[in-house]
Amino acid sequence: MNDSIKKGVGFGLTSGIITTLGLIVGLNSGTHSKAVVIGGIIIIAVSDAMSDALGIHVSEEAENAHSRKEIWQATGFTFLAKFFFALTFVIPVIFLALNQAIIACIVWGLLLLITANFIIAKANKEKPLMVIAEHLIIAILVIIASYFVGSIIKQIT
């Protein structure tokens, strides 16, 4: 797998997981509505995947160090990874009670992050525990912040 594909998949997967978890937790704490959470996941899978893919595209062009093919590979794989991984969170929300689905989504997302970061750390000959811990802390902070933002919005509306 070349560097452009790795960049796209790594960025898309990580952004897809963390953004979607934040959205799910925030929407749930603010609405407690299964339909709103499902709608939010689908919207983020499409719009944020496209936005991040364009962001990677522009970033790669700005570096002026990559071929057109590499730029488009990073763009395409960012979109596909973010779109796919974001949509995986719909499954528990459809089939479980909402509170159970939120817990399942958090567990699923954190397991995906642990697995991806373990693979990346091993490939880069780094200590997996440090890489995993750093990214899990960030994901957990996003989840906590999103919960409180959703709760505050519910209280003021």
Instruction: Provide the token pair at 84.
Output: 């796919």
Give the pLDDT of residue 1: 72
Give the pLDDT of residue 2: 84
Per-residue burial over 77-116, b if 16 or more Cβ lie within 10 Å, else e, is bbbbbbbebbbbbbebbeeeebeebbebbbebbbebbbeb
Mean pLDDT score, 79-107: 97
Among 144, 21, 143, 150, residue whose Cα is nearest residue 82: 21
Mean pLDDT score, 144-148: 97
Radius of gyration of the chain, Cα coordinates, nearest whole angstrom = 16
